[in-house]
Structure 1
Amino acid sequence: MRNFSSRTLPSSVVLAAILLAASLTGFCQSAPSIVTAQQAAKLLPDAVFFRGQSASVQARNSAGVHFTNDRYMLATLVDTSGYSSGVQQKYQAYLITEVALDFSGQTLKPGAYGVGIVGDHFLVMDIAANDLITAPVQHDAEIKRPGPLQLNADGDHYRLYFGRNYVSFAQAK
């Protein structure tokens, strides 16, 4: 039997091997990151189910957050042309989350939801179009180049924008 105690690897080699293995498995993500529309398009389906119908997603109008635990929150605008006007007024986007989210002190559990802005409130609905959460909407007159849907980091919170209007949320604790 060989004795390796006199032939140990330098600690820098061991550390480099650990860091390489961690980076290859995705464990080195030190902070949540914004998911761009191009990245989200690779993760989102072409169509989503909501209130008894399938709707095409607008992948070019999507965004999300990749959290440190390798979980995602994705949002995308949808084509609601086949829905009744009552549903169209409330349902503008689809939100999929693998983590619990906090909207103004209200917790949204992991799942798939229909969302939209109605007046000065952000509305979250289950896939049967039942209202679950309402949160206040803010208006950002200073945002440059507002898009139909975009997501920006704001400290430990995020802003989900629909044009110049946004709702703030964070990962629930």
Structure 2
Amino acid sequence: MMNLKRVLLGSSRLLAVICCLPVFVMGQNSVTILTGAELNRVVPPGFYFQGLSAPTQMRNSAAARFGTKRFVIAGLVDTAGYAADVRAKYEGFFITDSPIAINGSDLGAGAYGFGFSNDGKMQILDLAGNQILSISTTKDTELKRPRPLMMAKAEAGIRFYSGKDYVTVTAR
């Protein structure tokens, strides 16, 4: 009789853990687009790139939280002080505090520069201006009110937009 009680108690505990597991997994993979005070708290006021620091354009900044503690933060910066060749490839910063994938290409945790080109590419650059990734973008012809920079929830992660061009960012 005592063994039966132990087996039933152990089985019920195991069942409870198994039933709760999907809730924990969903919480880790859920995506929240930050707004208002939450957005202002995580976006840096300026960003260093290729020897200069430039102020962030807060109105053209976006951030997403994957789960409870993983962030992707991006913002356009005032590139007026940069040389023309730098301004041609660098628009702003892209920060991730954990590994992600952009359109399937892996990117490690770190702070990067980024730029979208007219030929349908997004460039990810290290802080010295060296290209890390070049990713093909998709044009969202259905987007009614494109903005210079924004993030939106997607089926798998987020869409990171520059105007109507976007890439999909997913947690790894």
For the pair 1:151 / 2:151, whether they are aligned, the reply is yes
Contact 1:150 1:161 in 2 (8 A): yes
Give the structure-2-normalised TM-score.
0.79
In structure 2, what is the equivalent of residue 169 of structure 1?
A: 169
Shift of 1:69: 4.1
Inter-partner Cα distance in structure 2 for 1:137 and 1:164: 10
Cα separation, 2, equivalents of 1:54 and 1:80: 9
- On the 8 A contact 2:31/2:157 being kept in 1, the answer is no
Q: Which residue of 2 aligns with 1:135?
A: 135
Number of equivalences: 146
User: 1: distance between equivalents of 2:161 and 2:144?
Assistant: 12
**Cα distance, 1:121–1:85 mapped onto 2, change above 3 Å:** same
Q: How big is the shift at 1:32? A: 2.0
In structure 2, stretches of 5+ residues that fail to align are 1-23
1:99 Cα offset (Å): 1.3
Deviation string, structure 1 residues 108-167 (Cα, Å, up to 9, x no partner): 111100001122111000000000001111111211211111101111131111111111
Counterpart residue number, 2:16: none
Question: Per the alignment, do residues 134 and 163 of structure 1 end up closer, same or farther by CA in structure 2, a change over 3 Å counting?
Answer: same
5+ unaligned residues in a row in structure 1: which ranges? 1-26
CA distance in 2, matches of 1:37, 1:149: 16
Q: Look up the match of 2:65.
A: 66
Structure with a larger share of its residues in helix: 2
Task: Tell me the SS of whatever aligns to 2:148.
Answer: coil
- Percent sequence identity is 34
Report the CA distance between 1:38 and its aligned residue: 4.9
Judged with a 3 Å threshold, the aligned counterparts in structure 2 of structure 1 residues 98 and 151 are, in CA distance, closer, same or farther, namely: same
Q: CA deviation at 1:40?
A: 2.0
1:1-173 → structure 2 map (5 Å cutoff): 30=27, 31-36=30-35, 38-118=37-117, 119-172=119-172
TM-align CA RMSD: 1.8
Q: For residues 79 and 39 of structure 2, what CA distance do their matches in structure 1 show?
A: 20
Q: Deviating runs (4+, > 6 A) in structure 1?
A: none
* Secondary structure of residue in 1 paired with 2:88: helix
Q: Which amino acid aligns with 2:115?
A: G
Q: TM-score, normalised by structure 1?
A: 0.78
